[in-house]
C-alpha cells in the first residue's frame, strides 16, 4: 500500500510534493504500521480514506495554483469548519440569518399587537423607559465579578502560585 501511496503523491503539484511529500509519506507509513495488527476491513477503510483524501488534496492544490491561494471553492465538503484566514466559521452566517429572522418576526408580532390594541377603550399609553434602569444591575454584576477575581487572586497568592512568588524563586544565576 505504501508503494501505491507513493505513486499517488505524484498527483500533487511538484512544488507541493517536494515540500510535503516526505512528511506525508512518513505519516502514512506510521499509520500503516499502527494499523497492521487490525482486521482487513479496518485496514481497507484506512486505505480508502487516505487515498480519497490524497486525491482530493491534490485536486484542491491544483485548483489553488490555477485560481490563487485565497480562492474559495463553494463545493468543498467541509465548508462549515474554520480554516486559516477565516475569523469565524461559515456557520456563523447561518445562525445570524436565523436570529435576524427571529427579530423580524418579533417586530411583526409587535406591530400586530399594536394594531389590535388601537381598538381598546380607554387608549393604552406607551410604556416610558427609565434611562437608568440597567445601571444598578450592571454595576452590581461588575462588583460581583471583581470580588470573585479578588477571591481567586487571594487563593493563588495564599498558595504562593502567583507570578510574584515565581519571580522571587528565581536564583541569581538564572536572572
Distance separating alpha carbons of residues 27 and 21, to the nearest angstrom: 10
Q: What is the DSSP letter of 88?
A: S
**Residue predicted with more confidence, 105 or 169:** 105
> Does residue 145 lie within any of the structural domains?
no
Q: What whole-number percentage of the chain has pLDDT above 90?
A: 15
Helix runs in 36-121, H state only = 40-67, 91-117
Instruction: Let me know if residue 16 belongs to a domain.
Output: yes
Is the predicted pLDDT of residue 161 greater than 80, yes or no? no
Lowest mean pLDDT among 4-13, 14-23, 33-42, 66-75: 66-75
- 36 belongs to a structural domain: yes
pLDDT in tens, 54-67: 888 888 888 888 87
Does residue 150 belong to any structural domain of this protein? no
Cα–Cα dist 59/65, whole Å: 10
Residues 6+ apart with CB under 8 A from 134: none
Q: What is the pLDDT of residues 95-109, one digit of tens each?
A: 999 999 999 999 999
Say if 143 falls within a structural domain.
no
Domain span at 49: 2-67
What length is written for the chain? 175
Residues 19-52: pLDDT tens digits? 888 888 888 888 878 777 778 787 888 888 888 8
pLDDT at 109: 92
Residue 20: inside a domain: yes
Residue 122 lies in a domain: no
Specify the 3-state DSSP secondary structure of 135: helix
Is position 77 within any domain?
A: no
Selected residue with higher pLDDT from 161 and 61: 61
User: Considering its fold, how many domains does the chain have in total?
Assistant: 1
Q: Render the burial of 29-48: b for 16+ CB within 10 Å, e for the rest.
A: eebbeeeeeeeeeeeeebbe
**Per-residue confidence band for 70, with pLDDT thresholds at 50, 70 and 90:** low
Predicted confidence band at 75 (pLDDT cuts at 50, 70, 90)? low
Distance, CA of 17 to CA of 6 (rounded, Å): 10
Amino acid at each position: 500500500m505504501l508503494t501505491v501511496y507513493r505513486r499517488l503523491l505524484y498527483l500533487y503539484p511538484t512544488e507541493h510534493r517536494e515540500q510535503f511529500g516526505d512528511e506525508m509519506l512518513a505519516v502514512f507509513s506510521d499509520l500503516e504500521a499502527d494499523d497492521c495488527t487490525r482486521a482487513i476491513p479496518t485496514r481497507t477503510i484506512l486505505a480508502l480514506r487516505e487515498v480519497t483524501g490524497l486525491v482530493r488534496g491534490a485536486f484542491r492544490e491544483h485548483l489553488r495554483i490555477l485560481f490563487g491561494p485565497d480562492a474559495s471553492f463553494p463545493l468543498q465538503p467541509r465548508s462549515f469548519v474554520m480554516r486559516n484566514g477565516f475569523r469565524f466559521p461559515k456557520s456563523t452566517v447561518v445562525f445570524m440569518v436565523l436570529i435576524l429572522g427571529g427579530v423580524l418576526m418579533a417586530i411583526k408580532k409587535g406591530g400586530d399587537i399594536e394594531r389590535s390594541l388601537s381598538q381598546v377603550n380607554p387608549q393604552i399609553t406607551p410604556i416610558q423607559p427609565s434611562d437608568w434602569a440597567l445601571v444598578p444591575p450592571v454595576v452590581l454584576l461588575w462588583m460581583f465579578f471583581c470580588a470573585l477575581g479578588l477571591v481567586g487572586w487571594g487563593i493563588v497568592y495564599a498558595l504562593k502560585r502567583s507570578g510574584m512568588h515565581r519571580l522571587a524563586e528565581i536564583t541569581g544565576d538564572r536572572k
